[in-house]
């Protein structure tokens, strides 16, 4: 493989995760400490049930927003607008190689048509700078189509992302995006 670098959106996902986890840890510490002095259970319930309603409302809101926003950002090609002249790239995985045809394209929109010659594989796409852009599965008997914008010229790394045998971590290929 190659050296990797952090990129969006993973940075934001990780930050969100760290913030929420820190809040949870804070709450746990506070609850742990509270247990050292006695508060009558009736009183805990009186306040706790009130807080719980807001906790429920807040959580449902956040989850709903997350799910609804996600529905507008799906990677599935049929969920996106027709892209017109996307360049087709046929990708086939096998133990332990990729065939990529063509293996050089112009910058712009591409459509990966991905399948497998034998077992399940996963097509992970890394930019020339080592950003993890996304992935799609390569399943025998099925053709998965992924539309993606590849504007940056250079060598994209295609790495297997589904356990496919003892050579799984050695299954890489290069896709070249030409200079504009």
Nearer to other proteins, 20 or 178 (CB): 20
Give whichever of 40 and 82 is closer to other proteins, judged by the CB atom.
40
Residues of this chain, 147-176, that bind Cu ion according to CB under 5 A: 160, 164, 168
Lateral strand order in the sheet of 144-150: 97-101, 87-94, 108-116, 144-150
Residues 6+ apart with CB under 8 A from 89: 100, 101, 102, 105, 110, 111, 112, 113, 175
Residues 92-151 that bind Cu ion (CB under 5 A): 121
Q: Is 6 in the site for other proteins (CB under 8 A)?
A: yes
Min. distance of Cβ 180 from other proteins in angstroms? Answer: 26
Question: In which element (H, E) is residue 89 found?
Answer: strand 87-94
CB neighbour burial string for 51-81, b if at least 16 within 10 angstroms, e if fewer = eeeeeeeeeeeeeeeeeeeeeeeeeebeeee
- Hey, which residues between 14 and 43 contact other proteins (CB under 8 A)? 14, 16-17, 20-21, 24-25, 27-28, 31-32, 34-41, 43
d(CA 124, CA 35): 48
Contact partner, 17, from Cu ion, other proteins, none, Cβ < 5-8 Å per class: other proteins
Long-range CB pairs of 22-28 (<8 Å, 24+ gap) are none
Query: Least Å distance between CB 157 and other proteins?
Result: 9
Indicate which single residue of 91, 105, 110, 164 sits in contact with other proteins (rule: CB under 8 A): 164
DSSP conformational letter for 36: T
For residue 136, state whether it binds other proteins (rule: CB under 8 A).
Answer: yes
Per CB under 8 A, the segment of 82-90, 100-108, 113-121 that binds other proteins is 113-121
Site for other proteins in 45-64 (CB under 8 A): 45, 48, 52, 55-56, 59-60, 63
């Amino acid at each position: 493989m190659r050296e990797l670098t952090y990129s969006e959106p993973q940075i934001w996902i990780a930050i969100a995760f760290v913030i929420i986890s820190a809040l949870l840890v804070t709450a746990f510490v506070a609850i742990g400490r509270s247990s050292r002095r006695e508060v009558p259970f009736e009183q805990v319930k009186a306040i706790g049930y009130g807080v719980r309603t807001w906790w429920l409302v807040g959580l449902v809101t956040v989850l709903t927003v997350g799910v609804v926003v996600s529905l507008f950002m799906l990677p599935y090609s049929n969920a996106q607008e027709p892209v017109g002249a996307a360049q087709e790239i046929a990708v086939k995985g096998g133990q332990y190689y990729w065939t990529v045809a063509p293996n050089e394209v112009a910058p712009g929109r591409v459509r990966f048509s991905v399948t497998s010659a034998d077992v399940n594989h996963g097509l992970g796409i890394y930019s020339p700078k080592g950003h993890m852009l996304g992935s799609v599965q390569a399943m025998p008997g099925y053709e998965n189509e992924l539309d993606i914008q590849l504007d940056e010229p250079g060598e994209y790394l295609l790495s297997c992302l589904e356990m496919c045998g003892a050579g799984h971590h050695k299954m890489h290929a290069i896709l070249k995006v030409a200079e504009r």
